[in-house]
Structure 1
Amino acid sequence: MPNELKSDWTLDEIAEIYDQPLLELVFRAQVVHRENHDPLRVQKCTLLSIKTGGCPEDCSYCPQAARYQTSVESEKLLPMPTVMAKAREAKANGSTRFCMGAAWRNVKDGPQFDQVIEMVKGVNELGMEVCCTLGMLKPEQAERLKEAGLYAYNHNIDTSEDYYGEIIGTRTFGDRIDTLKNVRKAGITMCTGGIIGMGETREDHLSFLQRLSSFNPHPESVPINALVPVEGTPLENQEMIDPLLLVRVIATARILMPKSVVRLSAGRLQMSREAQMLCFLAGANSIFAGDKLLTTANPGESSDDTMFRLLGIQAMENRAGAPAEEDAISVNV
């Protein structure tokens, strides 16, 4: 099974990997994983909503969209002391990456963005990888974030380009790619993945994985989420996916993108400890810690600590490290 860094995977090649018997697929993914990562080290990350609710977008999965009647209330941007206290708490609990999310369609220059810049500087000074997810981003805004010390920018492609319009109508798949280009051009590492279980097909999974692996270099961070249906959203009645399907997607992602950090993200609270273990075997080497992911419930620190202890996994202690300079400036996306 090829495991070289490759950005021109064909759909047929990806299908050949994806459609293997699951035990064989997981074994092959674990071999690739061990060749590129320590299989007993998992990065703990913390994700904080610094500006919750009131988003004008219509993402069908998101309880923060203003147009949906959910339990999420719109809140103002958190003050700097609150954010820094959360970041210090996250670091004390073993997280080496701190991500701040704002429910914005796009970044707007002004006082609020200025405040985010100061937050980035503050978290960076703690020695953590600092990540933001703020919506669409212009080149000059990406440059400001880079100068402030931003390590990574999250902007998920969510699903395949063909299925994207079924999930989001207020911006295009191309808009997502444009923001990712701006991130790469600024020399910020790219964090982009998607959500499994929104009614998409096998073919959508193949296309989604092909687009992610076509970035050159590959995304440094690939979060794979399982949809958590939320009452009040268009996907509220969607059934939770079979965790083994999530394992299949993660294993394929690991083989296609050997050096990327694959993040087991939303949906863990609904998964058994054994299902999560299979995801680690399949190549996932990061989780989001804490009892909440933005607005979605997540296993708490004590639950994860127990799981790590039982599996013999240790949390990564240091920053993962920036990509090589030539990779950071490559913009073939």
Structure 2
Amino acid sequence: MVTQVGGCRWDWQIAQVQAIYEQPLLDLIHQAATVHRQYHPPAEIQVCKLVSIKTGGCVEDCGYCAQSAHHDTGIAPQPLMAVDEVLAVAQRAQAQGVSRVCLGAAWREVRPGKQFDQVLDMIRQITALGLEVCCTLGMLTSEQAERLDEAGLYAYNHNLDTSRSYYPQVIRTRSYDDRLHTLAQVRQTPMTVCCGGILGLGETHGDRMELLTTLANLQPHPESVPINILSQVAGTPLAGQNPVPIWDVLRVVATARILMPKSDLRLAAGRAKLSPTEQALCFLAGVNSIFSSDDGQMLTRTTPCPDYHQDQELLNQLGLMPRPARSRV
């Protein structure tokens, strides 16, 4: 029996996902574009800004990450940013059409204390500007999730990164079930979930389909699904991977749009590698959100990001407009 409500379903089998993913590419993009226009205003793109509020020194060993203390990448640990400093970044971003600010801390998990209180203050003050706020702070307890919710947090990001099958080849210090547990803590609150993955970790097409199946069988679907392309960093175990062809990116984007029709698909890290034409194809296939920057970087100097001016020119060329922030229900 197919479980379907409002076009969404949560009982996908890997063979069904494979049939979608492996169909002729132009047919796949057409199907995804049709679904996208059914559920989303086709002329709107949400522009997001990611702020690394606490950089470097993370105890996790994620094989792709420049901020891991396990890897020699030249990223020196830095203290948590001051609230006023983060607020100023958010205000500059808002003036450039950004409607969602994402705060990232290189932590394994949230710990109670002064620093967490400081992050809660950031959330309250940025939310007061009329912006959506998303945080990625590592693993959470139910009590911490409740405090984030009380501060007004719009979304919590915790990516699965890759398939359960391939995950042990990428990360050893945190299990796949740890990640799913954190998502479950967030789902106990009114906050929305932001959860996606990374392409280019050495995974197979089968791993990508497995990841998409896992995401599409979360009920409800993540409201936000970031699709990252690996930014290779010297000193990390995954440096030297083969680049991800644009055709692979498009297959993942289009399949994600069909499987999770109501979710926002965010083209995140690695977008700087794509030409304007390639980005336009991603928008056609279902992407409706991007990350932009005022300093040419996303999280650190190792992750390039197009700047506000470039992105405004691109959106103007394509007849797209920045989407305003939404209020929490």
* Fold in common (TM above 0.5): yes
Q: For 1:193, which of 182, 196, 216 is the aligned residue?
A: 196
Q: In 2 relative to 1, CA 321–245 (structure 1 residues): closer, same or farther, beyond 3 Å?
A: farther
Shift of 1:67: 1.4
| 1:320 Cα deviation from its structure 2 partner | 3.4
Q: Which runs of 4+ in 1 moved over 4 A?
A: none
1:304 and 2:311 aligned: yes
State the partner residue of 2:298.
Answer: 293
Alpha-carbon offset, residue 159 of structure 1:
0.4
Letter in 1 for 2:286: G
| Superposed displacement of residue 243, structure 1 | 1.4
Distance 1:13 1:267 in 2: 28
- The alignment status of 1:11 with 2:14, answered yes or no, reads yes
Q: State the 1:113 CA deviation.
A: 0.4
The TM-score, its normalising length taken from structure 2, stands at: 0.96
Secondary structure of 2:144's partner?
helix
Residue 269 of structure 1 aligns to a residue whose secondary structure is helix
Give the Å deviation of 1:192. 0.2
**Counterpart-to-counterpart distance in 1, 2:242 and 2:121:** 41
Q: Percent identity?
A: 50
Q: Shift in Å at residue 237 of structure 1?
A: 0.8
Contact 1:37 1:259 (8 Å CA) reproduced: yes
Per the alignment, residue 267 of structure 1 pairs with 270
CA 1:294–1:285: 2 relative to 1, 3 Å: same
**For residue 85 of structure 1, what is the amino acid of its counterpart?**
A
Query: Is 2:66 aligned against 1:63?
Result: yes
Q: Displacement of 1:71 after TM fit?
A: 2.3
C-alpha distance after superposition, 1:259-288 (max 9, x if no partner) = 000001111111111111110000000000
Residue pairs, 1:100-179, within 5 angstroms: 100-179=103-182
Any gaps of 5 or more consecutive residues in structure 1?
324-333
Which deviations, in whole Å up to 9, do the C-alpha atoms of 1:193-238 show, x marking residues without a partner?
0001111011101110001011111100000001111111001111
Tell me what 2:321 maps to: 314
1:65-103, Cα deviation, whole Å (9 max, x unpaired): 011111211100000110000011111111110010000
Give, in whole Å, the separation in 1 of the partners of 2:141 and 2:85. 27
Aligned mates of 1:36, 1:278 — CA distance in 2: 18
Considering only aligned residues, what root-mean-square deviation do their CA atoms show, in Å? Answer: 1.1
> Do the aligned partners of 1:156 and 1:194 also contact (CA within 8 Å) in 2?
yes
Mapped to 2, the partners of 1:256 and 1:64 lie a distance apart of 32
Deviation at 1:240, TM superposition (A): 1.6
Name the counterpart of 1:327: none
Give the conservation status (yes or no) of the 8 Å contact 1:229–1:240.
no
**Matched-pair contact (CA < 8 Å) for 1:229–1:239:** no
1:187 Cα deviation (Å)?
A: 1.8
Answer yes or no: is the 8 Å Cα contact 1:228–1:240 preserved in 2.
no
Kindly provide the amino acid, as one letter, of the partner of residue 260 in structure 1.
Answer: S
**Which consecutive unaligned segments of at least 5 residues does structure 2 have?**
none
2:297 maps to a residue whose letter is K
1:203 match: 206
Quote the Cα distance in structure 2 between the aligned partners of 1:15 and 1:256: 11
Q: Provide the C-alpha distance between the structure 1 equivalents of 2:75 and 2:148, rounded to a whole number of angstroms.
A: 28
Residue 258, structure 1, aligned to residue 264, structure 2: no
Q: Is the 8 A contact 1:244 1:275 kept in 2?
A: no
Cα offset for 1:302? 1.0
Looking at structure 1, the residues matched to 28 and 105 of structure 2 have their Cα atoms a distance apart, in angstroms, of: 37
Counterpart residue number, 2:222: 219
Q: Secondary structure at the match of 1:284?
A: coil
Kindly state the Cα deviation for residue 321 of structure 1 after the two structures are TM-superposed: 4.3
CA distance in 2, matches of 1:224, 1:137: 22
Name the TM-score, length of structure 1 as normaliser.
Answer: 0.95
